[in-house]
Amino acid sequence: MRGPHNIWRLIRTGATLERTGAMKIILDAVEAPALMRGAVRGLVWPFQWLGLKGDVKLPPVTRALQALGPAYIKFGQVLSTRPDVVGTELAVQLRVLQDKLPPFPIEVAKAEVEKELGVDIDTVFADFSEPVAAASIAQVHKARLVSDGEFVAIKVLRPGIEKAFQKDIDAFYLAASIFNTFSPSARRLRPMDVIEHFEGVVLSELDLRLESASASEFADNTVDDAGFALPKVRWGLSARRVMTLDWAEGINAADVEAIAAAGHDLTDLSRRVLQLFLNHALRDGYFHADMHHGNLKIAPNGDIIAYDFGIMGHIDEYTRRVYAEILFGFIRRDYKRVAEVHFEAGYVPANRDVDEFARALRAVGEPIFGMNAEQISMARLLSYLFEVTERFGMETRTELILLQRTMVVVEGVARTFDHRMNIWDAAKPVVEDYIKESIGPKAALQDLAKTARVLARFGPRLPALAEAALIKLGEDQTPPPRRSYLPALGWMSLGALGASAVAIAVALFG
């Protein structure tokens, strides 16, 4: 319940943030007003002895969130995807937040698997290992299937994690409402919306059937992508609290020395990881939104293997086209076109000056292009871009924030393989191909065909819909002579027939 009883949780949270030194950093990041800073720190300072000490070797914010437990760790990870809320600097710190907790006993995991799957674990799995990874929500075991001898990864939710998360989420809501009430200047950050977004992410991760579905959809989209592989979901051995995947054998993407020693081409890996991500985002509109080193392996044959599908990003087709045009405009250094796209999409208020906005974008882009390949940074570009768009009144778009944040992470992975990699050179062919397919004449014909298909479905109903609309119009004002309706109905019926014909032709001939 989101009631006053959560105040104790907030006191403990505030005390921990103050004791670890994280409180000042967070208040600075959200640009809290001086009065609020003084009030908050004045309230929690006497209680800091109640706060958790945490690991003193960690940075303050990371130290505090890890000490506070699973919900806070996950909250920090989700906030790392929202530099618009916490600022770029803090978002970067939160991205390195360690998601490692003590594992729960293997006996508990086995009992959970038997309960969820309704099987005798020894008849289904052999060589059920101790945890190979333990995170805030679940842990992973390696096992071998008795049926075919194949190795699999079994992900099991922590016992009682749902209840524990709900308690902390309720406290987060209380904190957001207090923040919203007593800090009017911070309302632009929409604290209640941030918590709702966090709750949505967590609830989807607490049902492993949804993660299994994400993995399956992602696999269908990328089945023909050369040099990319995903572990297969074992649906018959997956449920709400248990998820089973084929075991992904490979070298962790962070172990560059081992990858190089295995004979893999690091320059090719650097280019490929960025191009694969852009393809997934632009071509499919569905991408892995947590593509850091820990979720990637390099297979013996050189394939990039991705796993852990708890956070996936989705972008609708229109937004993909807008994003591609913006990215392509920066690649071509056509800042006027980048500015126009922002206005056409409604991202920037129409009362602002497009030429002034284009000049501001030039100030963002030109310093980047003046650097050599090793200095070019997508993170720096996006940081500058956030500043400019905020100054021109651009509203935050969560789907683009997630996309941009993931691109920064992927850039980091790519540069781990080859620090000389030029992200613009790598991105250009992918973006160009997408522009040709989605914005050129061929795309216009495809859009018309889609429109025709929609109209065709309503074809038989168009005369009745037109008549009903005209009758309604007649009720609101004196109707014209009835004979004037007939041409309109005739044209609408003809239009329906034409739409049907086009749809049939498209279906038959593509």
Residue 290 known to be catalytic: yes
Name the residue type at position 20: T
Indicate the angle between helix axes 70-79 and 88-95, nearest 10 degrees. Answer: 130
CA-closest candidate to residue 243, choices 311, 153, 307? 153
Marked catalytic residue, from 225, 290, 303, 418: 290
CA-closest candidate to residue 228, choices 318, 304, 170, 295? 304
Q: In what order do the strands lie in the sheet with 228-229?
A: 228-229, 304-306, 296-298, 251-252
CA–CA distance, 358 with 346 (Å, rounded to integer): 15
The secondary structure element, H or E, covering residue 197 is helix 191-205
Contact partners, residue 151, CB within 8 Å, separation at least 6: 142, 143, 144, 145, 246, 247, 249
CA–CA distance, 110 with 124 (Å, rounded to integer): 11
DSSP for 402-420, please give it: HHHHHHHHHHHHHHHH-TT
CA–CA distance, 94 with 59 (Å, rounded to integer): 10
240 within 8 A of 116, measured Cβ to Cβ? yes
225 within 8 A of 276, measured Cβ to Cβ? yes
Q: Which long-range contacts (CB under 8 A, 24 or more apart) does 89-94 make?
A: 89/29, 90/25, 90/26, 90/29, 90/61, 91/405, 92/379, 93/59, 93/61, 93/62, 94/61, 94/62
Residues facing 125 on adjacent strands: 145
CA–CA distance, 510 with 505 (Å, rounded to integer): 7
The residues assigned a catalytic role are: 290
